[in-house]
Amino acid sequence: MTGFLSFVIVFSALIFVHELGHFLAAKLFGVRVQEFGFGYPPRIAKIGQWRGTDITINALPVGGFVNMSEDDPTAEGGLASKSVGARALVFAAGSLMNLLLAVLLFIVTFLVGAPTPVDRPGAGIYRVDPSSPAQTAGLRPGDNVVEIDDIAITDYEQATGLIRARAGQPMELLIERNTEQLPSISVTPRLDPPTGQGALGVVIGQPIDRVAYPIWEAVPMGVRTTIGAVRGMYDGIMAMIRRQLPFEVSGPVGIYRETTQRAETGLSHLIEFSAFLSLNLFLLNLLPLPALDGGRLIFVLLEWIRGGRRVPPEKEGMVHAVGMMALLLMMAVVTYFDIVRYYG
């Protein structure tokens, strides 16, 4: 139940912040917004009104929405009646809010204590692959391997060698978690692991300690981490487009599974993962695809290039409608493969 609640809170917060960005930008440029809703319809109650906009609470407690006229330039106070620059900023504002949220979450992570590689004996676990022996045994990101079969671990290279040597055989691990040693854990590394995974199903490196930083250090570290993460995600997308990496996408099922796992490993891990999810929303929504904010920005850019001549609203609307159907179909396919991957 805790995992499900964590997923609902994280997913709702990320979408809500995104929609809040659109809402605030629309209000800034005088766009008429009929409704700003917490959650998705059906409506439960209207809780008030702000500058002509109904503020509502809705039945599906995931995210929020902004109801405004976007495509009809004849609609009084509609977004389509505003300048190119105003429309571009309104469309981009949701993604920019996700970017700002990621910076804030990374800063909070460094303030409360971020998992940090340290120079001491042992081996830290940085990732646990789904459906792996490590996950089945209860290992978590942030754990430190202290001993393998009563052999004290001096570094992660030694740990890697011992795990490989024991493939197909049960072995005993002594694990340190949050400065406490756990009872011995028995696990059997795989002889033939899936592509991209190790025998145990973990990524290990230097030991990990939780280190908290003062705010004057946490702020620049949060900004640098955000920049590095965006650069890494962009490079990953380009590598998949160039077929240098396999095309792997997770849908709601995969995100739910990962969120529940992070929630089990502690609040700081969940906050850090939420920051990465927020950055994913930032980049995803700016992709130049119909129905996404990036697709709408493309039409605004075309209008600017054409000297103010717009693509007819009905044609643009048709493109976005087809794009939305394609995205929903793709989401259904991704969800199917997530279910097969994790529960099949």
Confidence of residue 216 (pLDDT cuts 50, 70, 90): very high
Of the chain, the end-to-end C-alpha distance in Å amounts to 22
d(CA 104, CA 35): 27
d(CA 65, CA 30): 18
Stretch among 191-195, 207-211, 260-264, 267-271 having the lowest mean pLDDT? 260-264
Residue 211 pLDDT exceeds 70: yes
Residues of the chain above pLDDT 70, percent: 94
Half-sphere exposure of 287 toward its Cβ, with a 13 Å CA cutoff?
16
d(CA 162, CA 182): 20
- The pLDDT of residue 327 is 79
* pLDDT (mean) for 133-144: 87
Residues of the chain above pLDDT 90, percent: 28
Query: Omega before 117 cis (within 30°)?
Result: no
pLDDT per residue as tens digits for the range 75-133: 777 888 888 899 999 999 999 999 999 999 999 999 988 778 888 899 999 888 877 89
d(CA 143, CA 115): 10
Half-sphere exposure of 45 toward its Cβ, with a 13 Å CA cutoff?
2
Cβ-in-10-Å burial (0-12, 13-18, 19+) of 12 comes to middle
Cβ-in-10-Å burial (0-12, 13-18, 19+) of 87 comes to buried
d(CA 284, CA 273): 16
* pLDDT (mean) for 213-236: 89
Q: Which helix (H) or strand (E) holds 269?
A: helix 267-285
Confidence of residue 226 (pLDDT cuts 50, 70, 90): very high
**Which residues are known to be catalytic?**
19
Residue 61 pLDDT exceeds 80: no
* pLDDT (mean) for 47-51: 86
Confidence of residue 269 (pLDDT cuts 50, 70, 90): confident
- The pLDDT of residue 245 is 61
Instruction: Kindly give, in sequence order, each residue whose CB lies less than 8 Å from that of residue 183, ignoring residues fewer than 6 positions away.
Output: none
Mean pLDDT, the chain, integer: 85
Count CB atoms within 10 A of the CB of residue 178. Answer: 12
Residue 54 pLDDT exceeds 70: yes
Residue 1 pLDDT exceeds 60: no
Nearest 5°: CA angle at 280, between 274 and 284? 150
- The pLDDT of residue 153 is 92
- The pLDDT of residue 52 is 84
- The pLDDT of residue 344 is 60
Half-sphere exposure of 204 toward its Cβ, with a 13 Å CA cutoff?
27
Cα 275 to Cα 13, 182, 215, 284: the distances in Å are: 11, 29, 18, 14
Q: Between 250 and 41, whose confidence is greater? A: 41
Confidence of residue 222 (pLDDT cuts 50, 70, 90): very high
* pLDDT (mean) for 214-235: 89
- The pLDDT of residue 89 is 94
Confidence of residue 246 (pLDDT cuts 50, 70, 90): low
Q: What is the DSSP letter of 151?
A: E
Domains and CATH numbers, the chain: 2-90+289-343 (no CATH), 115-211 (2.30.42.10)
